[in-house]
Amino acid sequence: MPIFLKRTLVGFLSTLIVATPAFAQDSNTSNPLPKVSQEWRFEVTPYVWAPAIKGTINFDNGLAKTADFSSSNVLSNLKSGAMMAAEAHKGNWGIMGDLVSATLQHSGSVPIYGGAATVADKITLQQTVLTGAATYTLANTRDVYVDALLGARAIDITATLNGNLIGTAEKETISKKTSTVDPIIGAKGRYRIADSSWYLPAYADIGSGGGTTNLTWQVMAGIGKSFGSLIDASLTYRALYYDMKAGGVLQKTTMQGPQAAITFKF
């Protein structure tokens, strides 16, 4: 497991050890920590995530192609996408869901035969990542809120490579699709900064065992601010990793980059 992921999980466990039981929160409407009660509370969070993508995309017939997109390249090559998270809580229990759907397309060229000819290639990457989990509040103090989570992450990804020998009519299309569902366990929470409306959000999960996946993990951390009782805004850095078994599309592939989000609470 990567060292920074270990440190994130250790940080969460340390928080749980020192946390005190739930308390009656102050009446400040700019308090960014959720209030645990027997009434339902909901959050809907549209966001924009611009991850750089680095790893290997595996196609049929054993062909593998390195994927190395910067965040700016991802935005410029984004053809379509939808990103949304939502939560519902009653008492200490809750459910959460997160959806990332995007289609990326990148064109380039590769010299062959010592530069005597050139192949133009176009990679299309269509992916949908859906994370769902049940949550339970483990810490709800004046400065700390932490939920444990247990659930699953599903990914459906199709990689298509179109090649054309420049100057000829020779073309070839190779496509590979992988769908897998992996159980995950993790934690998420917030730390309130100096009794203010500012907070530090954090998230970490890890999973495996879906048949195709050797390992998947996701982490996120950043800074946020509460604007009254209805709206939060945050800027975070998020990373999602997949290491799939032979035959899977994503071989040791990391998607990481900045994320801007607005949360509507009701």
Mean pLDDT across the stretch 203-227? 93
Q: Which residue has the higher pLDDT, 21 or 156?
A: 156
Integer Cα distance of 73 and 139 in angstroms: 40
Provide the 8-state DSSP code for 113: G
Does 53 reside within a domain? yes
pLDDT of 16 over the 90 cut: no
pLDDT for residue 60: 53
**29 domain residue, yes or no:** no
| Residues spanned by the domain of 141 | 3-20+36-265
pLDDT of residue 22: 40
Whether residue 31 is contained in a domain is answered as no
Binning pLDDT at 50, 70 and 90, where does residue 116 land? very low
Please say if the pLDDT value at position 261 is more than 50: yes
% of the chain residues with pLDDT over 70: 68
pTM score, two decimals?
A: 0.77
Residues 6+ positions from 76 with CB-CB distance below 8 Å: none
CA distance 161 to 169: 16
Residue 217's pLDDT is 97
| In-domain check, residue 115 | yes
Mean pLDDT score of the chain, rounded to an integer? Answer: 79
The answer to the question of residue 112 being in a domain is yes
Lowest mean pLDDT among 60-74, 179-193, 216-230: 60-74
> What CATH number is associated with residue 229?
2.40.128.100
Of residues 206 and 165, more confidence is placed in 206
**Domain presence at residue 87:** yes
DSSP structural state of residue 96: E
How many independent structural domains does the chain possess? 1
Does any domain span residue 157? yes
Among the ranges given (3-7, 38-42, 153-157, 172-176), the one the predictor scored with the smallest mean pLDDT: 3-7
For the segment 150-177, the average pLDDT, to the nearest whole number, is 75
Q: How far is CA 40 from CA 35, 36, 95, 265, in A?
A: 11, 9, 11, 11
Contact 259, 47 (CB under 8 A): yes
Residue of 29 and 125 predicted with greater confidence:
125
Per-residue pLDDT, averaged over 90-110, amounts to 83
